[in-house]
Chain A
Amino acid sequence: MAIREVLGIYKDLDSAVAAADALREAGFDRAEFEVLSNAPYPEGTFGEESGIHRLFVFPLIGACCGFAAGLLITGGTQLSFPLLTGGKPLLSIPPMIIIMYEGTMLGALIFTVLGVLFESRLPWIGKALYDTRITAGYIGILVRTAPERESLAISALRKANPEDVLTEGGSVGGTAPAAQ
Chain B
Amino acid sequence: MARHTTVVTHGHELQRTWELAPRDVLDAGLRWVRSLGTGRRLVALIALALGVVGAIALVVGPLLSGYANRQVWAYTAVAFVYLMSTAAAAPCLSTALRVARSHWRRPVNRVAEIWAVTLIIPLILYLLLLGTLPGTENRLSIWFGWPLSPWLWGAILMVSLTGAGYFFLWLSSLPDLAIVRDQTDSARRGLIARLAGPWRGSHRQWRMIEKVVNNAGVLYVLIYVPTMTVFATDFIISMIPGYFTAVFPAYFTISSFEAGIALTIVTMAVLRRWGGQQDYLGLEQFWALGKMLLAFALLWFYFWWSEFIIFWYGRLPREINVLKYIMAETYLWPFVLAFLLNFALPLLILMWNPIRRSIAGPTVVACIVLVGNLIDRIRLISAGYSVPDITQHELHEIPAAYIPNLLDILILAGAIGGAVALVLFTFRVLPFPSIWEVTGGLWLRAHRPFKHARVIVVGKPE
Q: Are A and B co-members of a single complex?
A: yes
User: Which positions in A face B, CB cutoff 8 Å?
Assistant: 34-46, 48, 51, 53, 55-56, 59, 77, 92, 94-95, 98-99, 101-102, 105-106, 108-109, 112-113, 115-116, 119-124, 128, 130, 132, 134-137, 142
**Are A128 and B167 in contact, with the CB atoms below 8 A?**
no
Q: With A53-B208, A95-B146, A137-B22 in contact, do A101 and B226 touch (Cβ < 8 Å)?
A: yes
Q: With A99-B146, A121-B204, A122-B199 in contact, do A39 and B223 touch (Cβ < 8 Å)?
A: no
In the complex, chain A residues whose CB is within 8 Å of the CB of B459: 42
Q: With A38-B26, A42-B1, A42-B459 in contact, do A122 and B197 touch (Cβ < 8 Å)?
A: yes
* In the assembled complex, B305 has its CB within 8 A of some CB on chain A: no
B216's nearest neighbour on chain A, judged by CB, is A112
Stretch with Cβ within 8 A of A (4 or more), from B258-266, B322-330, B345-353, B437-445: B437-445
In the complex, chain B residues whose CB is within 8 Å of the CB of A102: 153, 156-157, 160, 226
In the complex, chain B residues whose CB is within 8 Å of the CB of A38: 26, 175, 178-179, 201, 435-436, 439
B interface residues, tally (CB under 8 Å): 57
**Are B200 and A130 in contact, with the CB atoms below 8 A?**
yes
In the complex, chain B residues whose CB is within 8 Å of the CB of A42: 1-2, 443-444, 459, 461
* Nearest chain B CB to A16 CB, angstrom units: 12
Q: Which of A38, A122, A137 has its CB near the most chain B CB atoms (within 10 A)?
A: A38
Per the bound structure, the CA–CA distance linking A36 and B440 in Å amounts to: 14
Contacts between the two chains (Cβ within 8 Å), count: 149
In the complex, chain B residues whose CB is within 8 Å of the CB of A105: 160, 164, 219, 222-223, 226
* In the assembled complex, B210 has its CB within 8 A of some CB on chain A: yes
B436's nearest neighbour on chain A, judged by CB, is A39
Within 8 A of A (CB), among B220-277: 222-223, 226, 230
User: Which positions in B face A, CB cutoff 8 Å?
Assistant: 1-2, 22-23, 26, 142-144, 146-147, 149, 153, 156-157, 160, 163-164, 167, 171, 175, 178-179, 181-183, 197-212, 215-216, 219, 222-223, 226, 230, 435-436, 439-440, 443-444, 459, 461-462
Q: With A38-B436, A95-B149, A132-B182 in contact, do A120 and B219 touch (Cβ < 8 Å)?
A: no
**Are B167 and A109 in contact, with the CB atoms below 8 A?**
yes
Per the bound structure, the CA–CA distance linking A96 and B41 in Å amounts to: 48
Per the bound structure, the CA–CA distance linking A35 and B206 in Å amounts to: 10
**Are A99 and B153 in contact, with the CB atoms below 8 A?**
yes
From the candidates A48, A55, A59, A106, name the one contacting B208 in the complex (CB within 8 A). Answer: A55
Q: With A55-B211, A115-B212 in contact, do A120 and B1 touch (Cβ < 8 Å)?
A: no
From the candidates A77, A106, A115, A136, name the one contacting B26 in the complex (CB within 8 A). Answer: A136
Per the bound structure, the CA–CA distance linking A42 and B3 in Å amounts to: 11
Q: A94-B144, A120-B209 are in contact. List 18 more A-B contacts (CB 8 A).
A: A38-B439, A40-B440, A42-B443, A42-B444, A43-B1, A55-B208, A99-B146, A105-B160, A106-B156, A109-B163, A109-B223, A112-B216, A119-B212, A121-B205, A124-B198, A135-B179, A135-B181, A137-B22
